[in-house]
Every structure is written in C-alpha cells, then in structure tokens.
C-alpha cells in the first residue's frame, strides 16, 4: 500500500508538530530559576525606616519607584552602596527626583511610664 504525496506531507507535518510539543513539554518540566522580587533583593541593603519609605513611595508613585528600586538593586549588587541605606537618605533621594513622598508620622510623648500620642494628650 503506497502513500500518496499528500499523505506523506501530512505525516511530516504531524511529526514536526509532535516533535515541537515534546520539546515544549521537556522545557516546561525543567524548573526555572525563580527570579527574586527586586524589593526582596534590596531588603538586605535597607536600614532604619527605609522599607517604610519605599512602601509609601510605591503607593504614591508606583512606576517611578519600581524603576528606582531596580537601579538601587543594581547598584547594591555591584557593591556601589556603602553600608545600609536608611529611610532619611531614601526620602532625600525621592525629593531630589521631584517626588514628594508623604509618610504617616506621629509624635509620641513619654509620660507617667508610657508613651501617648500627642494628639490624644491635646484632647
């Protein structure tokens, strides 16, 4: 039983598709190296209140802050950052870039062995 030219061509196409599916399946079966979130990669380089400043900046300026975090990660991994970056330094960086990051602040007063909010004391 001889196969016609069209049957052979159809068989070749089916075999090619099967080969592609097998290669794709092999690629999916291999665990890929999971890239850490840039914020997670930056955390070891963050000091006092820096994470609070970054979180506030992410809420207020998400796109710009993601770009800045990416650049900070790059600098940190190259060893260009000396020590840890604190919140004040980050706040100053954002302000120099024209981003007025607003932080929630509260003033605590130590009175009679406990801390009280100034707003509560003024009532």
Say if residue 33's pLDDT is above 60. no
Residue 18: HSE in the Cβ half-sphere, 13 Å Cα cutoff: 6
The answer to whether the beta carbons of residues 48 and 87 sit under 8 Å apart is: yes
Query: Could you give the C-alpha distances from 22 to 9, 10, 104, in angstroms and in order?
Result: 20, 18, 55
| φ/ψ of residue 110, rounded to 5 | -90, 115
**Does the predicted TM-score (pTM) go above 0.85?**
no
Predicted pLDDT of residue 4:
72
Question: Given pLDDT bands bounded at 50, 70 and 90, which one contains residue 34?
Answer: low
More confident residue, 79 or 32: 79
């Amino acid at each position: 039983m001889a196969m016609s030219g069209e049957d052979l061509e159809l068989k070749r196409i089916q075999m090619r598709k099967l080969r592609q599916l097998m290669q794709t399946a092999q690629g999916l079966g291999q665990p890929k190296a999971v890239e850490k979130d840039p914020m997670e990669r930056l955390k070891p380089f963050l000091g006092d209140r820096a994470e609070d400043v970054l979180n506030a900046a992410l809420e207020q300026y998400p796109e710009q802050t993601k770009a800045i975090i990416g650049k900070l990660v790059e600098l940190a991994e190259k060893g260009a950052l000396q020590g840890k970056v604190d919140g004040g330094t980050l706040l100053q960086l954002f302000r120099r870039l024209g981003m007025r990051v607003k932080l929630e602040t509260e003033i605590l007063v130590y009175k009679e062995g406990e801390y009280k909010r100034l707003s509560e004391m003024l009532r």
